[in-house]
Amino acid sequence: MARIGIVTGGGSGLGQSAAVRLAEEGVNIAVVDVNEEGGNETVDMVKKAGADAIFIKADVSNPSDVKQYVDKTVEHFGTIDYFFNNAGISGSGKYFLDTEIEEIEKIVGINLLGALYGVRYVSEVMLKNGGGAIVNTASSAGVIGQDSVVTYSATKHGIIGLTKSMVAEYAKDGLRVNAIAPGPTETPMVKAFYEANPKMKENAAGGIPQKRLGTPEEVAELVAFLLTSKAEYINGEVIRIDGGFTNTK
């Protein structure tokens, strides 16, 4: 019987690559995004990889939208086995005291509250069915402090707290929750950030021991490993995938 996964932020970048990689493992996917065009593109890619998929439009900062994508997944597929809790935004790259309050609220709403709501509603389904596996997307900025991304960094540190604390409460009930901490990666979100802040791309690549940015496909391999049965005894971990970037800090 096919496993069922939800991927938020599934319309591009890490979410799209992870959805396709999971499909190659035979996982059926509910693709969640605010972007209908990107989300439907991912659905097509998943189907070409041999799995079933549906697209659900949702704003993850809205708890009713989150509950809806969980309910629709269960309605369509019957259960939820895997959850890649990935949707997020980076922000403008302004220093914190130059950042508008509205931007702070938006980043926290999507990155942190959206992740909390997702874990809240998905875990409820998983625990009723004997457990499941969750991967939360943190960041190198959730492991170390970085300038120009104070609010983003705060949310990603929060993701790590969410990951570890869920394990403390629910590992005994069959729930596995891990986090990934990607460094600078060639995703549309990161590309847009660097286009607005070109000096930061130069600084980032120069500070990575491997002297290049990561790829979404490399991150997708890690996500697929952590979600599947190959990683049954890995729980509560924050795994860096950053070419050694944070290792030197």
pLDDT per 10-residue tile (average), the chain, 249 residues = 96 97 98 98 98 98 98 98 97 95 98 98 98 98 95 98 98 98 87 75 77 94 96 98 89
Count the domains in the chain.
Answer: 1
Round to whole Å and give the CA distance between 190 and 183.
Answer: 10
Q: Which residues contact 33 (CB under 8 A, 6 or more apart)?
A: 8, 9, 10, 11, 12, 15, 39, 42, 55, 57, 58, 87
Contact predicate 122/74, CB 8 Å:
no
The reported pTM is 0.95
Contact predicate 130/174, CB 8 Å:
yes
Question: Which pLDDT does position 1 carry in this prediction?
Answer: 85
Question: Which pLDDT does position 190 carry in this prediction?
Answer: 78
Signed CA dihedral, 245, 226, 118, 42: sign only: positive
Question: Which pLDDT does position 195 carry in this prediction?
Answer: 79
> Active-site residue among 69, 152, 170, 194?
152
Question: Which pLDDT does position 63 carry in this prediction?
Answer: 98
Q: Could you tell me the residue range of the domain that residue 16 belongs to? A: 4-248
Question: Which pLDDT does position 20 carry in this prediction?
Answer: 98
CATH number, domain of 224, equals 3.40.50.720
121 is annotated as an active-site residue: no
Written as one letter, the residue type at 112 is L
Round to whole Å and give the CA distance between 136 and 133.
Answer: 10
Question: Which pLDDT does position 203 carry in this prediction?
Answer: 66
Phi, psi of 47 (to 5 degrees): -65, -35
In three-state secondary structure terms, 50 is: coil
